[in-house]
């Protein structure tokens, strides 16, 4: 049975033009009365994409391996954004498709279902606002998106890393921190769900290919012509992002931060809080007022580490302070700590010599081992939540009680306090990675 469309379903430009009619409007404004009445008011994100597909574009997608607009080769994705200050930011990662472990290991990048399905995306960004019904979300951006060449090279490397773990029988060890832009995010109705994988008897979590929220932020900025981050030119040579970054630091190995600052013209006091960050930016060829594009898009945590003579970091590595009121509402699977522990880190490592002088030793990318995250990390988080609920926020897990992480103050001073669920106020705190744990990791791991 043929169907009449208000656009040409074989032409990407026609599909995009029809999508742009939604910008500045909500679906309640644009749908016919009979379509509006099909959907009842509801504020969740769950069915908005379905409404856009079935009632606005009049398509019935469902093919897991082919794009939604098959003849045009266009895959439709509807995704929420939110206001953060004066900017629009991605509310969440963009899930693209489920990973079938039994199929993906036999694919190569050129003929992969991922590439054929997602080569040309139609992105529909709508503004999420608390309490609004799905039909009342206002669309802010509608555009065709194909990955820029330099991004596609990184996404290809990400895809290879994920598939490589499946081929090695290590699907159960996959972490979102393994990769830069393309993540293998957990995707199931329950955190306990597991599925079989080839080449191993170990059950693995169901996962889907997804673009990280940090990468989606760059798409939003490009769409609004707001991007100010700078990408290294060497990425166009075919080398990996990690290789390019390491090579930038090689000429400075063995030198002191003061010597690096003098060579590169960094004008900042040695004791300034931003001193090491400015050196890192300058080595990477980025001005102080710019961001590093690939680091931003991959949501990489950059940290300077100074190692004592015994190889133990001089300082522990901290995450941002948490709210006592907010953390007790989180589950482990959706917690800020789990998200932080599954991110990728980039360490600029200085070694202190016998005179206490720091010298650049090496650079290293690192992702916390998933088995440590899902055991020690989860236990630290759950103990913290339980103790706060019991009105014992002063006595949260110490470094001696957990192999990976602990909790300690992270405020300006002892008067920097936050309210607790019990009605009291306790000094601001955060999670920290243990110094001895990091010493072990830095001494034994290699980039992966």
Query: pLDDT per residue over 165-201, tens digit each?
Result: 999 999 999 999 999 999 999 988 777 899 999 999 9
The predicted pLDDT at position 232 comes to 57
The predicted-structure confidence for 73-124, as pLDDT tens digits, reads as follows 999 999 999 999 989 999 999 999 999 999 999 999 999 999 999 999 999 9
Distances (CA, A) of 98 to 116, 117, 213, 395: 14, 12, 17, 42
Q: What mean pLDDT do residues 324-335 have? A: 95
Q: What mean pLDDT do residues 251-269 have? A: 92
Of all helices (H) and strands (E), which one includes residue 81? Answer: strand 75-84
pLDDT band of residue 1 (cuts 50, 70, 90) is very low
- pLDDT of residue 230 exceeding 70, the answer is no
- pLDDT of residue 306 exceeding 70, the answer is yes
What is d(CA 255, CA 233) in angstroms, rounded to the nearest whole number?
25
**HSE-up of 310 (CA within 13 Å, CB side)?**
5
Compare 43 and 107 and report the one with higher pLDDT: 107
Q: Helices 257-264 & 275-283, crossing angle to 10 degrees?
A: 50
What is d(CA 376, CA 433) in angstroms, rounded to the nearest whole number?
11
Torsion of CA 270, 276, 280, 285, to 10 degrees: -40
pLDDT above 70 covers a percentage of the chain that reads 92
- pLDDT of residue 244 exceeding 80, the answer is yes
Q: What mean pLDDT do residues 299-303 have? A: 92
* Residue 174 neighbours by CB distance under 10 Å: 25
Q: What mean pLDDT do residues 393-416 have? A: 95
- pLDDT of residue 445 exceeding 90, the answer is no
Q: Which domains does the chain have, with CATH numbers?
A: 12-223 (3.40.600.10), 233-444 (3.40.600.10)
Q: Name beta bridge partners: 197.
A: 200
DSSP SS3 for 181 = coil
Distances (CA, A) of 103 to 114, 117, 118, 175: 11, 15, 17, 20
- pLDDT of residue 2 exceeding 90, the answer is no
- pLDDT of residue 126 exceeding 60, the answer is yes
What is d(CA 382, CA 380) in angstroms, rounded to the nearest whole number?
6
Which pTM was predicted? Answer: 0.82
Compare 441 and 226 and report the one with higher pLDDT: 441
Compare 401 and 274 and report the one with higher pLDDT: 401
The predicted pLDDT at position 286 comes to 80
pLDDT band of residue 436 (cuts 50, 70, 90) is very high
């Amino acid at each position: 049975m043929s169907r009449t469309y208000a656009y040409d379903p074989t032409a990407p430009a026609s599909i995009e033009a029809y999508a742009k009619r939604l910008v500045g409007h909500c679906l309640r404004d644009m749908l016919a009365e009979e379509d509006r009445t099909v959907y009842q008011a509801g504020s969740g994100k769950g069915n908005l994409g379905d409404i856009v597909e079935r009632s606005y574009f009049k398509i019935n997608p469902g093919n897991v391996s082919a794009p939604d607009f098959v003849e045009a080769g266009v895959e439709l994705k509807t995704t929420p954004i939110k206001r953060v200050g004066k900017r629009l930011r991605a509310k969440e990662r963009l899930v693209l498709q489920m990973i079938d472990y039994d199929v993906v290991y036999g694919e190569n990048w050129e003929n992969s279902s991922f590439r054929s399905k997602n080569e040309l995306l139609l992105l529909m960004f709508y503004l999420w606002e608390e309490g609004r019904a799905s039909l009342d979300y206002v669309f802010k951006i509608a555009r065709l998106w194909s990955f820029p060449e330099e991004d596609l090279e990184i996404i290809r490397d990400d895809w290879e890393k994920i598939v490589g773990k499946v081929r090695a029988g290590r699907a159960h060890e996959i972490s979102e921190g393994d990769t830069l832009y393309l993540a293998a995010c957990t995707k199931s109705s329950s955190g306990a769900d597991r599925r079989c994988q080839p080449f191993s008897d170990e059950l693995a979590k169901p996962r889907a290919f997804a673009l990280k929220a940090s990468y989606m932020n760059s798409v939003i900025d490009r769409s609004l012509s707001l991007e100010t981050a700078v990408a290294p030119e060497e990425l166009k040579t075919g080398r990996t992002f990690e290789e390019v970054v390491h090579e930038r630091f090689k000429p400075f190995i063995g030198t002191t931060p003061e010597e690096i600052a003098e060579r590169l013209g960094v004008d900042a006091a040695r004791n300034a809080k931003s001193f090491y960050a400015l050196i890192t930016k300058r080595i990477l060829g980025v001005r102080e007022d710019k961001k590093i594009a690939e680091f931003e898009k991959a949501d990489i945590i950059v940290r300077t580490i100074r190692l004592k003579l015994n190889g133990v970091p001089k300082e522990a590595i901290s995450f941002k302070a948490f709210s006592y009121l907010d953390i007790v509402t989180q589950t482990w699977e959706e917690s800020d700590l789990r998200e932080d522990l599954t991110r990728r880190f980039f360490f600029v490592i200085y070694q202190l010599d016998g005179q206490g002088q720091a010298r650049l030793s090496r650079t290293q990318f690192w992702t916390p081992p998933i088995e440590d995250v899902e055991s020690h990390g989860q236990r630290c988080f759950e103990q913290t939540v339980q103790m706060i609920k019991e009105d014992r926020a002063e006595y949260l897990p110490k470094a001696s009680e957990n192999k990976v992480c602990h909790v300690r103050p992270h405020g300006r001073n002892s008067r920097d306090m936050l309210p607790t669920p019990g009605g009291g106020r306790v000094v601001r705190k955060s999670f920290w990675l243990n110094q001895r744990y990091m010493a072990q990791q830095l001494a034994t791991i290699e980039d992966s």
